Amino acid sequence: MAIITKITTQQKNQDRFNVFIDYGNGKGEEFAFSVDSEVLIKFQLKKGMELDDFSFLEIQYQDDIRKAYNLAVNYLARRMRSKKEIEDYLVQKEVDEPVINEVIHKLTEQRYINDQEYAVAFVRTQANTTDKGPNVVKMELKEKGIPDGILLEALDEFPFKQQIEKAGKITEKFYQKNAKESSKIKKQKLEQLLLRKGYSYEVINIVENEPGELAQDDDEIEAVRFQGEKAHRKYAHLDGYEYQQKIKQALYRKGFSMDLIERFLKEKEENE
């Protein structure tokens, strides 16, 4: 039978204790294991106490739980986490599954993790501080292990009106940056951008058709002139029919109508 001969506090961690035991094998006192203060109290470990094999296993198991619990609490201290995030983190730390289950149960009882509260807070934060649309936010919540029922309820924190406002701001910036593109190309690129950011076609159609958002006629004329001059510099060495066909092809691929292209070519001819 093993007998505890000494218990000392660790120098670098005052919450952990080293336990020394005499196993009765003639070797005298030996270091056996270390435990958290909570485990020490729970098992009432003290000098002279006898430990059998089962006690060793149970103490070690409870200490593993305590160490994993402390890891999880420190991880949670930085910000809120979902249940899956905690589980994944502990897996990375090579914690065994039964221990992880015990830690998750304890954290849930203490309300340190609550997927519903986490999802609501996450949606609010993304809606108020980023330009992400609801579809991207939904995908990110799925990756964090949030169940569909909780996820859909949390997305109510991102109302349709706010989606339109945010998509409208993205659209305004986009048109300012891409003023020299044709309206057709701008529309295609804008749709792709808003879809990537997680907005629905319904929202996209609304912001595209808001007054003042789409390029006006003057903007389109300036755009065809800009793109036309670029094409002219490229094909200026050509003459006549071949020159005109290359310019037409280049501008048509840029999304301009044939009327606008013909207008540019006429202006170009008159100015030469």
- The answer to whether 231 and 246 have CB atoms below 8 angstroms apart is yes
The number of folded domains in the chain is: 4
H-state helical runs in 155-239: 160-177, 183-196, 201-208, 217-235
Residue 180 CA to residue 169 CA, distance in Å, equals: 19
Answer yes or no: is 266 within a domain. yes
Answer yes or no: is 38 within a domain. yes
Alpha-carbon torsion (221, 222, 224, 229), positive or negative: positive
Q: State the average pLDDT over residues 158-181.
A: 89
Answer yes or no: is 255 within a domain. yes
What is the CATH classification number for the domain harbouring 141? 1.10.10.10
The pTM of this model reads: 0.70
Residue 16, strand partner residues: 36
Answer yes or no: is 106 within a domain. no
Q: What is the CA radius of gyration of the chain?
A: 34
Domain housing 223: 217-271
Mean pLDDT of the chain, nearest integer? 89
Burial 63-81 (b: 16+ CB within 10 A, else e): bbbbbbbebbeeebeeeeb
Indicate the SS3 state at residue 264: helix
Predicted local confidence at residue 267, as pLDDT? 79
pLDDT in tens, 195-209: 999 999 999 998 887
Q: For residue 210, is pLDDT > 70?
A: no
Answer yes or no: is 11 within a domain. yes
Answer yes or no: is 61 within a domain. no
Angle of CA points 85, 107, 119, to nearest 5°:
45
Claim to verify: residue 224 and residue 201 sit in the same structural domain: no
Claim to verify: residue 28 and residue 43 sit in the same structural domain: yes
Last residue of a domain, one of 32, 51, 70: 51
Claim to verify: residue 234 and residue 254 sit in the same structural domain: yes
pLDDT in tens, 59-73: 999 999 999 999 999
201-208 and 160-177 helices, crossing angle to 10°? 60
DSSP assignments along 190-212, one per residue: HHHHHHHTT--HHHHHHHHTSTT
Claim to verify: residue 34 and residue 2 sit in the same structural domain: yes
258-271 and 240-253 helices, crossing angle to 10°? 140
Answer yes or no: is 195 within a domain. yes
Claim to verify: residue 1 and residue 47 sit in the same structural domain: yes
Claim to verify: residue 195 and residue 232 sit in the same structural domain: no
Answer yes or no: is 36 within a domain. yes
Angle of CA points 151, 137, 95, to nearest 5°:
70
Claim to verify: residue 232 and residue 202 sit in the same structural domain: no
